Amino acid sequence: MSETGRIAVVTGASRGAGAGIAHALGAHGCTVYVTGRTESCSGGSVAGTIDETAQRVNAAGGTGIAVRVDHADDDQVKSLFERIAEEHGRIDILVNNAAIIRDEMMGRTKFWEEPINVIDTLDVGLRSSYVATVYAAPLMLPQRKGLVVFTSSSGGVHYAFGPAYGVPKAGTDKMAADMAVDFREYGVAALSIWMGSLLTDRVRKIIAGNPEKFGHILDTAETPELTGHVIWALYNDPDVMQISGQTLIGAELAVKYGITDDDGRQPPSYRELFGVHPHPQFDHMMR
């Protein structure tokens, strides 16, 4: 069992946001379980795999552990957390990031023009986050300290690509709020973080291919690593329980904690750019 570094789990971390978050947590010395469906083939490395992300975590100074998990399969998720229980006995940080985003839902089509399976976002995205947290919770409660983060976006409060995208984002924000109520007496915080436009490897290639058309993205986008550094700051914030249950904007948290992005940039928040902000939850409770 690790006595110094924190134990983190980042779901859906073969590429994109999850890969960047895992990389950043590795830079803070975390042991990071990197989950996803894409792993390196025996014939050679495949770009965007859990193995590749684990190697990046190692290179950053942490310990990356790649575990192939299909988050649509509850038994595979259960096995993941049973393995972590056996190897480390605890989890300090859980980042629920796994999601299915189908190309058909990202165009300018109406929802009835898209294939029915675009709504699989309710399974791998919303439901999978619930399942992962159910199995992670027993490994967090004994420490009386922990952090569960749901990666989300402003699409939960405004139209973005249609209901298959927006509904799970709104549900994710609500899930964090309600889980925080049950977690509170155990000192475990649950938060939903809105990420902005992300400078993933895919987006960087698009910009490089046509900088005149897409170069402006660099003015407002943020790296996935920024969210990872914000998550680390939240975990170490002695007052994090005071904001548990809230949906927060990652760019604003970066300002609060004095975190800058690549080249010292301070990406703007969606509140600043578009006047969009999270909805607060009422304090009224029913049991």
Active-site annotation, residues: 165
Rounded to the nearest angstrom, the gap between the alpha carbon of residue 143 and the centroid of all alpha carbons in its chain is 22
Percent of the chain as helix, strand, coil, to the nearest 5: 50, 15, 35
Handedness of CA 14, 15, 18, 22 (dihedral sign): positive
Handedness of CA 153, 154, 157, 162 (dihedral sign): negative
C-alpha 137/C-alpha 134 separation (Å) is 6
**Which residues are CB-neighbours of 213 under 8 A, at least 6 positions away?**
none
**Quick one: tokens of 69?**
């998990």
